Amino acid sequence: FPQRWQTFVTDLFAPVSSGGIWCEPGADAGANTIGVKICLECLKLITEDCTDSDFNAKISTVRRNDILLGFNEVTHQILPLLFELLSKQYGDLNNAKNTLTQMNQYLASSGRTTAQMSPEEKAQYQIQLDKRDAAGAILADELGTIEKFCQS
């Protein structure tokens, strides 16, 4: 990248339906968590390597600058995808947290705790916990990637 693999960004960040590994526009990233994590990790590692002093000593300044210039040329393709995912996952996280709060309030109003839930209630509660945790993990990964990408 960018000389030998000019389509790196379009190949990597294409939705699954187009042969890539990124999530479908507007879809829940949880359905393709592995693909999203691979994309984020690739982007993060490449940008870290270009800004890390250990990496700078291993490659020429010209090569490092080529990579950074390549990223500058494709920033307009990457950032909208990252911000769309960020917005979606933040909404998913808040929805799950709000649902959990409502569930806890319902239990408290009936004098019960989570330990006293029925099997059906426990299953629904666990679904919300899983949604909250998955969205939070993707948000943490994505924010770390955005931080490194914007520093390059």
pLDDT score of 149: 86
In angstroms, the CA 41 to CA 25 distance is 19
Provide the whole-model pTM. 0.86
In angstroms, the CA 112 to CA 104 distance is 9
In angstroms, the CA 5 to CA 92 distance is 34
pLDDT score of 31: 67
Split the chain (152 residues) into runs of 10 and give each run's mean pLDDT. Answer: 87 89 76 86 88 75 87 91 93 97 98 97 97 94 91 78
| DSSP assignment string, 106-121 | HHHHTT--GGG--HHH
In angstroms, the CA 89 to CA 113 distance is 28
